[in-house]
Amino acid sequence: MADIQLRAAQATSAAAIQQAIDSLGPAGGCVILPEMDLVLDRAIQLRSGVTLVGQGRRTILRHAPGRVYPFSGYHNYGMHDAPLEFTDGLAPGMTVTMRDRVRGGFYETFARITWVEQGWVGLDRGLHSDYRQDEEPFLATSFPLIYAENARNVAVRSLTLDGNRTQQPVGIGACRGAALYLIGTDGFTVEDVHEADFAGEGLGFQMCAHGEIRDCRFVGNAGNGYHPGAGSTGVLFEHCESQNNELAGFFFCVRANHITVRGCSFVENRVAGVSVGTRDCYNLVEDCDMVGNEGPGLLLRPNVRPVEVHSCVFRGCR
């Protein structure tokens, strides 16, 4: 595996960083970012076997100000394009989200633009839903700062992420994104990442397995601080902090199982310190602080059999 150490003159855009990652090929390797303060107009995607490393608090990746592009008409599930009222400022390679004013969740589409023509953009995947004109569908330049999709053995270390929340007219939903987001990924490590002010979740993952998150801090987000998502298992959180998020500090999503949370702090969040719900079983939370939240330190969300919470252990927490 190769190491690529980028100089400041080389790491001038998200596209340049992506090119370095992609150049590693299937063997993977490490991309080392310099000290810098960079505004991203698109997400940085990790490939299998790739580690992205910065210089701690001296490497800052910021979300560019967002824009909203209304659909110009109805468009249906599976289409690899979208009709827009205007396309100013959009370019191939940018990452965007699409949804309507009625539904979110997995009805939302996160995609990369492949082409731009008058009134249309091409997408690298099909739309995840029908979007009806009377439900006000739109495309927004909302995206994870860093993400991995259907990857294996990826890592992010020693980076600072700024979601630039006040400059986002809309965010990305919790199922399709977060400031740092993974989906369908097996084997991941996140260490020494400090993140703030994302218009959505801080760190989120869906259908992932075998991960370690250590010595991280996710604060001031519009959603939850940490969101181990649906169908995820075998993940360790250790010595992490979450503070001043609009929802929970730590949110166990549907069927987040066999997750250990140790020595972490979830304080001064709006809804709860830790939130547990449907099929969140066989989890261990120990030696954690859940104090000063506007809601309960530990919130057990309503659920019914046969998808009730069971076999979770909380010990040594405050």
Report CA-CA distances (Å) from 234 to 22, 32, 208, 259, 270: 28, 28, 9, 5, 27
Helix (H, G, I), strand (E, B) or coil at 233: strand
Q: Which amino acid is at 98?
A: M
What CATH number corresponds to the domain at position 160? Answer: 2.160.20.10
Q: Distance between CA 11 and CA 36 in Å, rounded?
A: 8
What is the three-class DSSP state of 180? strand
* 171 and 289 part of one domain: yes
224 strand-pairing partners: none
Polymer length of the chain: 318
Alpha helices in the chain (DSSP H): 14-23
78 and 154, same domain (yes or no)? no
Q: Say yes or no: 236 and 155 in one domain.
A: yes
Specify whether the backbone of 148 is left (phi greater than 0), alpha (psi in -120 to 50) or beta. Answer: beta
pLDDT at 1: 75
What pLDDT was estimated at residue 80? 98
Please tell me what DSSP assigns to residue 18: H
Q: 174 and 74, same structural domain?
A: no
**pTM over the 0.85 mark:** yes
Mind listing the pLDDT tens digit for each residue in 90-128? 999 999 999 999 988 999 999 999 999 999 999 999 999
Where is the domain boundary, 124, 140, 156? 140
Q: Model confidence over 164-217: pLDDT tens digits? A: 999 999 999 999 999 999 999 999 999 999 999 999 999 999 999 999 999 999
Q: Same domain for 214 and 247?
A: yes
Among residues 85, 118, 140, which one ends one of the domains?
140
Domain residues for the domain of 74 are: 68-140
- Low-confidence stretches of the chain (pLDDT < 50) are none
Q: In the chain, how many domains are there?
A: 2
Contact 276, 303 (CB under 8 A): no
Final residue before a domain boundary, out of 140, 159, 192:
140
Can you give the pLDDT at residue 247?
99
